Amino acid sequence: MSSKRSRNKRPQGSPAPRPAQPVIEPESEQQGNPAILVAVLIVFTLFMGWYYHLSVLGQMKDLVGGVTMLDHRPFGYSAADVDALRAVMTGDDRGQLSWVHKTAGTIFTALVSLIAAVSIGLYAPKAPWRRLLFVLPAAFLVVGIAQNIVVDELLGRQDNGLLGAASALTIASWILLVACVLLTIAVLVSAFIREFLRRWRDPSLQERGGR
C-alpha cells in the first residue's frame, strides 16, 4: 500500500505541469475567410452590374427602338427626353421596366452598398472617423431604390411633375455609385499595403507566410 502511494506522489521539487496555451493565429490568417467573402461579393456584384445595366437595360433600349433608358442618363434628362421615351413605351414595356427595377435594380443597389459596408467594417483603419464612411453606402442604397420608384412613377404619368426629382435622383445615384466603388477600392488597396508593410518589417511573418 505504501509503495503505491510513493509511486503516485509527485516529487516536491519538480514543477507542476503547465496547461497548454492556446495558439493565437496572426491577424492575416484570421482574416482569411473574410477575404474570401469579400471576393465572392465582388464577383457577384460585378455579375449583377453586367446583368442589370448591360444585359437587361440594354434589351429594354432595343425594345423601344434605341431610346436610352432614364437610368442610363447620368447627367440628368429634360422633359423632351422623358416625353420621347414615354411615347415609344407601351404599358407592357413600362411594367417590364418596373419589374426590372424591383428585382435586378434593387439587388444590384443592395450588393454595391453591402460590399462597400463590409469592406469598411473589415479593412478600414480602426479610427473614430471610420463610422462616417458607412454613410456613403447607406445613402446609395436609399437614393438608388428611390430613383427606381420615382422613374417608374414618372413614366407612368402623363405629366412631368416628378421630372426634377427623378433627374436629381438619377444624377445622385450615379455619383454615389462611383463614390462607393472608389471607396471600396481605396479601402481594400490600403489594407493590402498595410499588411504588406507589416510583413516586410517583421521577418517572422515572412517565414510563417512562406511555409
Does 27 have pLDDT greater than 50? no
User: Which residue in 132, 133, 170 sits closest to 150, CA to CA?
Assistant: 170
Q: Can you give the pLDDT at residue 193? A: 86
pLDDT of residue 87: 93
Q: What is the pLDDT of residue 125?
A: 86
Task: Return the minimum-mean-pLDDT range out of 22-36, 43-57, 70-84, 194-208.
Answer: 22-36
pLDDT confidence of residue 32 = 52
**Three-class SS state of 81:** helix
- How much is the average pLDDT of 128-144? 94
Check pLDDT > 70 for residue 168: yes
Say whether pLDDT at 116 is over 90. Answer: yes
Q: How far is CA 174 from CA 133, 141, 179, in A?
A: 18, 12, 8
Quote the pTM value.
0.79
SS3 94: helix
Separation of alpha carbons 190 and 123, rounded Å = 8
Mean pLDDT of the chain: 85
From the number of C-beta atoms within 10 Å of its C-beta (0-12, 13-18, 19+), residue 108 rates as buried
Distance from the Cα of residue 115 to its chain's centroid: 2
Domain parsing of the chain, residue ranges: 33-62+94-199
**Does position 37 have pLDDT exceeding 60, yes or no?**
yes
For the chain, percent of residues with pLDDT exceeding 90: 68
Instruction: For 10-145, list the strands marked E by DSSP.
Output: none
10-26 confidence digits (pLDDT tens): 555 555 555 555 444 44
Is residue 75's pLDDT more than 70? Answer: yes
Q: What is the pLDDT of residue 162?
A: 95
Looking at residues 91-97, what average pLDDT do you find? 94
Report how far residue 185's alpha carbon sits from residue 96's, in angstroms, rounded to the nearest whole number. Answer: 34
